[in-house]
Amino acid sequence: MHWNSFGEFLAMGSHGLYVWGSVVVMAVLMLAEPMLLVHGRKTLVARLKRQLRAEQQEAGANRSPSHHSHNAPRNTPQE
């Protein structure tokens, strides 16, 4: 261990403000980024689910041919 006391550690040889200013900003941003990502992903998934449910309901309620084709998955190759 290089430091004799915690105060000395904080002071960083009179450069504490600069060193800790870097550390704190870097830490905050690098923690904020994944948090924002997780949050964004949650809202996205919620939105997509809502849309999917709305579509399924619409498809179920509305059996008219044009509407049906609107939502029917076309995953078989047309030949």
Query: Quick one: which of 7, 13, 60, 65 contacts another protein (CB under 8 A)?
Result: 13
Q: Token pair for residue 29?
A: 């941003």
How far is residue 20 from each of residues 10, 46, 58, 79, measured CA to CA in Å? Answer: 8, 38, 56, 66
Q: Binding to another protein by residue 10, rule CB under 8 A?
A: no
Q: Token pair for residue 65?
A: 């041919």
Least separation, in Å, of the C-beta of 78 and another protein?
A: 6
Size of the site for another protein (CB under 8 A): 40
Q: Binding to another protein by residue 54, rule CB under 8 A?
A: no
Q: Binding to another protein by residue 60, rule CB under 8 A?
A: no
d(CA 54, CA 49): 8
